Structure 1
Amino acid sequence: MAMFRRKDKPEVSPYQTRERGWETWARGGQEKETGGKGREPAAPDRRPIEPERGGTLGGGAVRWIFFLLFLVYFAVSYLHAPILRQVGAFLVAEEAPSPSDLIVCLMGAPVERGLAAAEVYRSGLAPKVFVAREALPDGWDSLARRRIHYPESRDLLIMMLEALGVPRSSIVTSDRFVGSTYEEALAVKDFVKRAGHKSIIVITSPVHTRRAGLTYRKVFEGEGVEVAVTGSAYSGFRPEDWWIRERYLQDVVIEYLKLVYYWFRYL
């Protein structure tokens, strides 16, 4: 009977169980590193990929987006004209001229400003017209070396004023070059102080009146000189419809940029 004795299953210690578990884990890691050689690859997952529900917009959010788009459309379609009128009107800050010692015709738009300056002079509001000397354009020295005469903008404005009835003896100027409204105001200040004037009329374009007024009043602050800024009636700029013409659209955009720059730099 001893030959048919059942052999008992050897007992496995906890230490051996843990050791075999580590061996199984190590073999699994090796199969991953070797690409699973020796084992059949798993079948690909062919289930459709569904978007995560957390990234979708709810119905309420979509309704708010359409509502905001409607408000933008309404503002652009029906309110753009009143808004743009206010944008243009803000740049116009002029006052009616009164009797003064000097008319200052600003450079930049000589035709429309020269016409207005001559008109104010003929009305008897001031005995003199001041014309600044604008900075020469690039390339002017090359023309001078070739003995090619190119008239300065100051000379052209003086010729036009004379043709409009302003005697040459009533036109005063300065040899100081100016390249901006602020530099021009400084040149006018020097002349006014030497001449002993106490009041001036500044003629410019309507779109330029606010910045010109702020600049001249800042420059003449504490000098005891009254400054009146008026826009030329010969300008085509109108606050009520300036945006329909590209020229005035550019003027308004540039003027606002310069106004911001002057506010931080000079005013």
Structure 2
Amino acid sequence: MRPRDSAPRIIDRGPDSAPGGDSRGGRAIQRLTRLIAAVLFVVAFGSALAPRALAALGQFLIVDEPLRPAAAILVLGGAVPYREMAAADLYRAGWAPRVVLVAAGRTDDQRLAIEALGVPLQDPMTVRQDILVALGVPRSAQIVAPGRADATLDELEFALTSVGDGTEPMILVTSPYHARRVSLYWRHVAGERRPAITRTAWQDGFDPATWWRNQTRILSVSREVMGLANYALGFPIAERAAGRAPAISR
């Protein structure tokens, strides 16, 4: 009969199994743990900063300058009726004797498609004018600038032409997210000839602290960021009707 070993048997599984030693699996787990911790830190840090950065962007887009008597109030097209409401408030307060509107462009394809459907064409300008009348701005105080604007630059150029020469400022009324771009574009178009006072139509409801939670606002802000980049680069992407000469800062 074979005698039983009195000493406990030790099975050597190699250096990776030594007590306190790092196995290859253990090192992999540690690396994975560190990676997860780093990712969680970045996510937590980014989550804390992202709302602040986005809110700062929303606030940057807003321009609301002090009022003073002006030659006219330009209501930028879009966001009907909120911009008209803000312009009417300024008119009734006596800041300017006239309100300027610029018609938006409509392509021939759009017109023909609507006519083919047998739907009567509605003039958006008439709607805007009626809104202003309802808000206390008579037709006699409204100026419809000649031409149809396809972009913000067009709109500002037509408006500048419609008020004639003079050094009195023009009040520019637009939505909060659009104000920064409008202010810069006006300087590009008018130069030193006629200053502008950019005013925000708060009736629009834009909230710089939460805009990224709304798809419509995300699209609006994205458009503004691209427009500002286009301005900063000298308008490599045309923002006016085909065939028109580019605006020159004066």
The TM-score by the shorter chain falls in which range? 0.7 to 0.9
Task: Tell me if structure 2 keeps the 8 A contact 1:94–1:210.
Answer: no
Q: How many Å apart are 1:142 and its aligned residue?
A: 4.5
- The structure 2 residue matched to 1:185, chosen from 153, 156, 160, is 156
- 3-state SS of 1:185 partner: helix
Paired letter, 1:226: P
Q: How many Å apart are 1:184 and its aligned residue?
A: 0.7
Structure 2 counterpart of 1:157 = 128
Paired letter, 1:155: T
Q: How many Å apart are 1:86 and its aligned residue?
A: 0.9
Paired letter, 1:250: L
- The structure 2 residue matched to 1:125, chosen from 95, 101, 108, is 95
Structure 1 counterpart of 2:225 = 256
- The structure 1 residue matched to 2:86, chosen from 116, 119, 124, is 116
Task: Tell me if structure 1 keeps the 8 A contact 2:75–2:87.
Answer: yes
- The structure 2 residue matched to 1:213, chosen from 165, 171, 183, is 183
Task: Report the number of matched residues.
Answer: 209
Structure 1 counterpart of 2:197 = 228
Q: How many Å apart are 1:98 and its aligned residue?
A: 1.7
Paired letter, 2:186: Y
Q: How many Å apart are 1:220 and its aligned residue?
A: 0.9
Evaluate the alpha carbon distance shift between residue 69 and residue 146 of structure 1 in structure 2; reply closer, same or farther with a 3 A threshold.
closer
Between stretches 156-165 and 72-81, larger displacement belongs to 72-81
Aligned-residue RMSD, C-alpha = 2.5
Structure 2 counterpart of 1:31 = none
Normalized against structure 2, the TM-score is what? 0.75
Evaluate the alpha carbon distance shift between residue 73 and residue 200 of structure 1 in structure 2; reply closer, same or farther with a 3 A threshold.
same
Alignment partners' CA distance in 2, 1:103 and 1:228: 9
Alignment partners' CA distance in 1, 2:198 and 2:53: 25
Q: How many Å apart are 1:119 and its aligned residue?
A: 0.7
Evaluate the alpha carbon distance shift between residue 85 and residue 66 of structure 1 in structure 2; reply closer, same or farther with a 3 A threshold.
same
Structure 1 counterpart of 2:20 = none
Task: Tell me if structure 1 keeps the 8 A contact 2:79–2:204.
Answer: no
Between stretches 76-85 and 177-186, larger displacement belongs to 76-85
Q: How many Å apart are 1:197 and its aligned residue?
A: 5.5
1:175 aligns with 2:146: yes
Structure 2 counterpart of 1:9 = none
- The structure 1 residue matched to 2:68, chosen from 78, 93, 98, is 98
Paired letter, 1:263: A
Evaluate the alpha carbon distance shift between residue 263 and residue 153 of structure 1 in structure 2; reply closer, same or farther with a 3 A threshold.
farther
Structure 2 counterpart of 1:166 = 137
Q: Deviations over 1:108-162 (max 9, x none)?
A: 2221100101111000000000000110254214545888532222221111101
Alignment partners' CA distance in 1, 2:52 and 2:111: 45
How do 1:5-84 residues align onto structure 2 when only pairs under 5 Å count? 65-84=35-54
Q: How many Å apart are 1:79 and its aligned residue?
A: 2.6
Paired letter, 1:96: P
**Percent identical residues:** 26
Normalized against structure 1, the TM-score is what? 0.70
- 3-state SS of 1:93 partner: coil
Alignment partners' CA distance in 1, 2:55 and 2:67: 25
The gaps in structure 2 that reach 5 residues or longer are: 1-26, 236-248
Q: How many Å apart are 1:210 and its aligned residue?
A: 0.4
1:245 aligns with 2:240: no
Task: Tell me if structure 2 keeps the 8 A contact 1:136–1:152.
Answer: no
Paired letter, 2:182: A
Task: Tell me if structure 1 keeps the 8 A contact 2:172–2:199.
Answer: yes
Structure 2 counterpart of 1:140 = 111
Paired letter, 2:41: L
Task: Tell me if structure 1 keeps the 8 A contact 2:146–2:158.
Answer: no
Q: Please identify runs of 4+ aligned residues in structure 1 that moved more than 3 A.
A: 57-68, 141-149
The gaps in structure 1 that reach 5 residues or longer are: 1-56
